[in-house]
Amino acid sequence: MQIWRGRVLASLLGTLSVPADVLDLGCGIGSDAVALAAAGHRVTAIDASPAMVERARARGVAAEVLSLDAAGARFGACFDAVISDFGVLNCLPSLAPLSRTLSSVLRPGGVAALVWMSRHCPVDSVACLARGRAPRRGRPEASVRGVKVPLQWWAAGDVEEALGREFQVMRQEAIGLLDPPPDVGGRPRLRTRLEPYLARLPGLRDLGDHTLLLARRCP
């Protein structure tokens, strides 16, 4: 997971000048926020879970309890970049709040790095079946420490449509195209080093465990 996270962060950091103002949407325990701050950026983080925010604050992250669709009214257009990493978007019943929020909080020319669990991931399905587990793609909900969380399985086209003409897509790539997730036995191997060379190819970039989309708000 840290290799995957590193690729996402490297993609975003390559678009930013130091220091930039970054909003972390759905910060979890603050892993992305800590890394971005260490790179010299000013990071504000939000999460709908008070427990997650408490963990992030304990790591020195400026985090607050706030839902994604409330961020626009809370902050306004004061950020150079937004990151929403590893499945936050899958918890949204609709992508309409995402579009509204990004349009509200990003300055013109600002960049959004969006990462969600892909609708199709052959390597994950094969790894699950090989271990006697049912494939996870398309399941209606996930259990997080006993709490049922409804899931939506977005395609890249769904996210691009939601962003609309106000955003220009810069890059799409698969994250976890060749490596199964760690919880079903994935380990870094040669395939891990090969993946970045294949992950942006049409036909493959939609088939990772996650999908990364970089988009810039039009001036």
Name the DSSP class of 163: H
Between CA 198 and CA 31 the distance in angstroms is 26
Where do the domains of the chain lie, and which CATH numbers do they carry?
A: 2-217 (3.40.50.150)
Between CA 21 and CA 43 the distance in angstroms is 6
End-to-end CA distance of the chain: 34
Between CA 111 and CA 138 the distance in angstroms is 29
Name the DSSP class of 140: S
Tokens of residue 101, six digits: 């929020």
Read out DSSP for 66-135?
--GGGHHHHH-S-EEEEEE-TTTGGG-S-SHHHHHHHHHHEEEEEEEEEEEE-S--HHHHHHHHHTT---
What separation in angstroms does the CA of 196 have from each of 103, 115, 161, 176?
30, 16, 25, 10
Question: pLDDT tens, position by position, for the chain (219 residues)?
Answer: 888 999 999 999 999 999 999 999 999 999 999 999 999 999 999 999 999 999 999 999 999 999 999 999 999 999 999 999 998 999 999 999 899 999 999 999 999 999 999 999 999 898 889 888 888 888 888 877 677 889 999 999 999 999 999 999 999 999 999 987 777 777 778 888 899 999 999 999 999 999 999 999 998
Longest dimension (CA), the chain: 50
pTM of the model: 0.94
